Structure 1
Amino acid sequence: MGKDKLRKFAEIGTFPNVYQLDAGMENKGRWAERHFGNTNPVVLELACGKGEYSVNMAKLFPEKNFIGIDYKGNRIWRGAKTALEEQISNVAFLRIQIEDILSYFSEGEIAEIWITFPDPQPQLSREKKRLTADRFLDNYKRILKEEGVVNLKTDNDGLYEYTVNKLKERNEPILASTTDLYHDELLDDVLSIKTYYEKKYLLVSKNINYLKWIFR
């Protein structure tokens, strides 16, 4: 690991807005109260990377709490540091494996989930690792409130098609979908937030897919 990554890993260990591994379990069922000090809705960004979505949504919606989740601490560092520098108090970060999410959140605790440009895991042998595979969808359903919404943004057409087919197979209601977000009427202030990788994709005119659904 390079010196810069080591520095960032060490630094996030001192950040009051970052929880790593077991440290976040103590907030299970009480994230709004224990970390944010309020009763506002909690929104998750999964595979948050540098945390652009979490930070920018926190700015747009001060009446909500946001938690970015990723396992790569050197990426989380950027979003967490920006939030501290700009005194954005309604966003936090959790460094865990997403498959362990049930250990950190209680049933019905989460109001909304964003999955932003996750690894598409294109190999068939890695289907179970896709963040929209059945085991992940089952977990999201458990921690979401009734009528809680899930959003997926991805440049990967295969993952988008896989997710659409999976939701249809499960009979889950799709609320919105597009294979070309930036040329669609769905585009708004929230969907216009761009991640580091999304900016790179748009520079080469790659289409961006978007999907929004709820669970029955």
Structure 2
Amino acid sequence: MRLRNKPWAQEYIESNPTVAIQNPTKYQGQWAKTVFKNNHPLNIEIGTGKGDFIVALAKKYPEQNFLAIERYVSVSVLALKKIVAADLINLKIITFDAVMLLDIFAPQEINKIYLNFSDPWPKARHEKRRLTSKKFLEFYQLILQPNGEIHFKTDNDQLFAYSFESFQANNWKIIDYTTDLYHSKYLENNIPTEYERRFVQLGENINYLCAQKASP
């Protein structure tokens, strides 16, 4: 996602330290206890975008903790504004690159991971940047709890096919999937992202899968 630089963004982020968590590496292994001050399950969304999905999810499950992860300041600040407006105690956000996941979370600290409309990185030389590549699946395997899940949605059929094969090749158990979310049984519980709504209005197909962490 590329958005025009917002000179006010960093200042706004720093002015909301209880929601926009600074220096997230110091909370490794301590997110529930130190940041959320409870022992509830912790779920993360990688590539939060403008925040519609994660805000709705946190509202739906107040008994769980949620952490939004967005790489770009100009984007994360838009999500932050929505989180602040929603005034949810179970939702925080960090501006951080997912390649550093192992510096942020301890082994088995995460309950579920949500990947929504990730950058497909279509060129072969960029495969390792895909959030469903072997490298990232190894990260997720480490930070997820036993039987932890990944929920993945994309409008990109090529990325979905690649991801499906990647999960299987890396010993993940695919427990649910559809190549047509909006004509499936999974639609009832679906929470759309802002881009998903746009894609659907344009007649784009949406793919979905849920994969479970491999056994040791």
Common fold, TM-score beyond 0.5? yes
CA separation in 1, counterparts of 2:199 and 2:193? Answer: 10
Give the CA deviation at 1:170.
2.2
Q: Following the alignment from structure 2 to structure 1, what is the Cα–Cα distance between the partners of residues 164 and 62?
A: 31
> Aligned letter for 1:184?
S
CA drift of 1:42 comes to 0.2
Could you tell me which residue of structure 1 aligns to residue 121 of structure 2? 121
Instruction: Trace 1:29-44 onto structure 2 (pairs within 5 A).
Output: 29-44=29-44
Q: Report the CA distance between 1:49 and its aligned residue.
A: 0.8
Q: What is the 5 A alignment of 1:81-160?
A: 81-160=81-160
Residue 187 of structure 1 aligns to a residue in which SS? helix
The Cα of 1:52 is off from its aligned counterpart by 1.6
Cα offset, 1:75, TM superposition = 1.5
SS of the equivalent of 1:74 reads helix
Aligned to 2:198: 200
Secondary structure at 1:163's aligned position in 2?
helix
Alpha carbons 2:41, 2:111 under 8 Å: kept: yes
TM-score by length of 1: 0.93
Whether the aligned pair in 1 keeps the contact of 2:107 and 2:142 (CA below 8 Å) is yes
User: Contact between 1:154 and 1:160, CA under 8 Å: does it hold in 2?
Assistant: yes
User: For 2:5 and 2:129, how far apart are their aligned partners in 1?
Assistant: 29
The answer to which of 70-79 and 114-123 deviates more is: 70-79
Return the alpha-carbon distance in structure 1 between the equivalents of residues 105 and 3 of structure 2: 33
Q: Shift of the alpha carbon at 1:169?
A: 1.7
Q: Which runs of 4+ in 1 moved over 6 A?
A: 1-4
CA contact (8 A) 2:4 2:74 kept: no
* Amino acid across the alignment from 2:20: V
Aligned residues: 212
Shift of 1:80: 1.8
C-alpha distance in 2 between matches for 1:82 and 1:171: 37
Aligned-pair distance for 1:14? 1.3
Matched position secondary structure for 2:120? coil
Q: Distance in 2 between matches of 1:4 and 1:158?
A: 31
Counterparts of 1:167 and 1:111, CA distance in 2:
18
DSSP-derived class of the 2:199 partner: helix
SS at match of 2:21: strand
- Letter in structure 1 aligned against 2:93: F
8 Å CA contact 1:42, 1:66 repeated in 2? yes
Of all paired residues, the percent bearing the same amino acid is 32
Any gaps of 5 or more consecutive residues in structure 2?
Answer: none
Kindly provide the amino acid, as one letter, of the partner of residue 66 in structure 2: F
Rounded Cα–Cα distance in structure 2 between residues aligned with 1:2 and 1:166? 30
Give the Cα separation in 2 of the matches to 1:53 and 1:45.
9
Q: How high is the TM-score relative to the length of structure 2?
A: 0.93
Query: 1:17 Cα deviation (Å)?
Result: 0.7
Q: Which runs of 5+ in 1 are unaligned?
A: none
CA deviation vs aligned residue, 1:52-75 (integer Å, no higher than 9, x gap): 221111100000000010111222
> What's the counterpart of residue 54 of structure 1?
54
